[in-house]
Amino acid sequence: MVNIVTHHTGWIEVVTGSMFSGKTEELIRRIRRAVIARQKVRLFKPAIDTRYSENEIVSHDQIKVKALVVKTADEIFNQSLEAQVVGIDEAQFFDESLVSVCQRLANMGKRVIIAGLDQDYLGQPFPPIPELLAVAEYITKTHAICVLCGNPANHTFRKTTDKDKVLIGSTEMYEARCRNCFRLGEQEVNS
């Protein structure tokens, strides 16, 4: 016997990892495929992220896609009611309300694709990504290449002494490091 689903089922996909690991590039790839499939897509970026563009999601390789700029997760919900696919970049810049917004969208039958850092520059879980990982149906963990030794990198090392949790930047402030080189860098900073 074959079970036939007669209603549209939504879900949450999370693409996570360190900086320079291809998270945004993967989000853009999935969004482009949804557009090719003629699905109604809404793509969002946080207003705080103005590194490469005011109104585009831009990968570190300069792949660009237009996006709606929002300050809160509630804005994402309100602007996604007609969408079939919702994409959210730099999710770590939203507060924990993003989790309930994504849950509500998925419960409405929408595919929700989220990209964001899973760890901060101290190597600690970076909310709300851990909570999103817990409720996601699909998880993709991306890795960069350690700039010191060439091994797979899972950490984002901050090259400055600034202690703010959120500090917007790119290669001038951050680099990808493996576990061992990240720990060596912490020892250098703390000594």
For residue 165 the two structure tokens come to 């949790």
pLDDT at 104: 98
> Mean pLDDT throughout 29-58?
90
Domains of the chain: 11-142 (3.40.50.300)
90 is catalytic: yes
Residue entry with tokens 């090719």: 36
Output the average pLDDT for the chain: 90
75, 90, 137, 175: which is the annotated catalytic residue?
A: 90
> Mean pLDDT throughout 146-156?
96
Percent of the chain whose predicted confidence (pLDDT) is above 70: 89
Examine the pLDDT at 173 and tell me if it is beyond 90. Answer: no
